[in-house]
Structure 1
Amino acid sequence: MSKLKLITFDLDNTLWPVDEVIHHAEKTCSDWIADNHPDAAAALSAERVRAVRTALLKEKPQYLDNLTALRQDAMRRAFMEHGFNEAEARRIAMDAFKVFHTARNQVRFFPGARTVLEQLAGHYLLGALTNGNADLKLIGIDDLFAFHHSAESIGKRKPAPDMFAAALRDADVCPSQAMHIGDHPLEDVHAAREHGMHAVWANLVEMDWPVELERPRHHILTLDEIPGLAASFDK
């Protein structure tokens, strides 16, 4: 067995629960629009934005590879459909997204996350691989990671192999020297093991494993299980 050198992490629902983060960020964004552009607030009801997002994804499924662009363009289109000209709609949407993005990166870690990352960073290269748009610098853990790849930076979301291949290239390791930890059965666990990496299902949000996928060999319920598991591969 090759010595373990690289550990990559998914972020949302792996290092922190994401639903409460997004809910808070969307409310913060809506409150900002209501306070600063009350004439635009009516355009951004939750139902309206969902409808616009659905329409945009139907027109251009590639938006799933860039959630930042999807959210910005959904707000812009909602404003335009409400009567704003394109330049004004774009300006308000970009300003509103900055508010959303700041709040989106105010996360509450799962217990032990920072301690485990600090412990692992002393022994392995750490990388972040995410389909979302979390900002490690804003969150305050960028110093622990050698690299951070996202669907936006790579151009393809997991389970496509591109992000995993980029991680292996950056770390200059072979797949058997790498372990990926994530919450999503298909996008994290199945995709990583298809790429030849050790794959760990981090089920911290109590999901059910889909019956159509082979069950994972490695399954954790708390992050503090990771150092011991990593050591079992470190031979």
Structure 2
Amino acid sequence: MALRLITFDLDNTLWPVDEVIRRAERATSDWIAERHPDAAAALTAERIRAVRDRLVREHPDYLNNLTRLRRDAMAETFLEAGFADREARHIAADAFQIFHEARNRVTFFPGALEVLETLADSYALGALSNGNSDLKRVGIDDLFVFHHSAESVGRRKPEPDMFHAALRSAGVPAEQALHVGDHPVEDVDAARRHGFQAVWANLIDLDWPADLDRPDHHIHHLRELTDLLPLLDN
């Protein structure tokens, strides 16, 4: 069947994410130090990481909402440092807005925008992400028919919920859908199991897990996707 829908993961598929997160965390720390110096001492990276790990152990569902996890981890850190509940949560909420603004200032992989613009003329494009990026803030929301996330759907990949939501949004069967992503389990293997075709976008030189069947198609540069599509679109 002819291909009608192409869905993309975002982080480490359209842009490298690690440095984005580091910059966003630095911006958040600088803002807290300037606006709430008494709170800054409590918000070390090590303490935040420890609180986040504890929250996830106690409530695994936090992984379906990384916004809530980061915001609550900051609030819990302030509470542990002796801040009153209302003040802790107020500072954490404001600090998250600083983080989120910086988190959406990304640098695309070479060719990413050109590929998206080209594909948007012929296919419905969708975004499927476990993260909390905002396509409008990133500046590419006009290229996508929809954006589903673990936060909006309620379950993260590799669960089927996000893939099923994509098919409903586009009004196509899985046989006419292709997913492009960097994660071997959450993107490629999940897409295959849920009926999509899949392309492994290995733009950051990951190793493929030995216990998974290797993908039929993989790319090291997003421009390779346009050359690969004639093999998939039939």
Unaligned 5+ residue runs, structure 1?
A: none
Q: State the TM-score, normalized to the length of structure 2.
A: 0.99
1:83 aligned to 2:76?
Answer: no
The structural deviation recorded for 1:201 is 0.3
Per the alignment, residue 166 of structure 2 pairs with 167
Distance (whole Å) between structure 1 residues aligned to residue 94 and residue 58 of structure 2: 25
Match of 2:121 in 1: 122
Deviation at 1:174, TM superposition (A): 1.0
Unaligned runs of 5+ in 2: none
Deviation at 1:51, TM superposition (A): 0.7
TM-score in terms of structure 1 length: 0.99
Confirm whether residue 225 of structure 1 aligns to residue 189 of structure 2.
no
- 1:105 maps to a residue whose letter is N
Q: What is aligned with 1:182?
A: 181
Residues 94-133 of structure 1: CA distance to partner in whole angstroms, max 9, x if unpaired? 0000000000000000001100000000000000000000
2 CA distance for matches of 1:83 and 1:187? 39
Q: 1:213 aligns to what SS in structure 2?
A: coil
Q: Which residue of structure 1 aligns with residue 154 of structure 2?
A: 155
Aligned to 1:207: 206
Query: Which of structure 1's runs of 4+ aligned residues deviate more than 4 A?
Result: none
Distance in structure 2 (CA, Å) of the matches to 1:138 and 1:148: 13
Structure 2 match to 1:137: 136
Secondary structure in structure 2 of the residue aligned to 1:68: helix
Partner secondary structure for residue 127 of structure 2? strand
Aligned mates of 1:20, 1:231 — CA distance in 2? 34
Q: Cα offset for 1:141?
A: 0.1
Q: How many residues align?
A: 234
CA shift, 1:67, in A, is 0.3
**Structure 1 residue aligned with 2:12:** 13
State the distance in 2 between where 1:233 and 1:214 align: 19
Matching of residues 34-53 of structure 1 within 5 Å: 34-53=33-52
Q: 1:97 is paired with a residue of what secondary structure? A: helix
**SS at 1:44's partner residue?**
coil
Counterparts of 1:52 and 1:34, CA distance in 2 = 20
Taking the aligned partners of 1:188 and 1:85, their CA distance within structure 2 comes to 41
Task: Name the structure 1 match of 2:59.
Answer: 60
Give 1:231 deviation, angstroms: 2.3
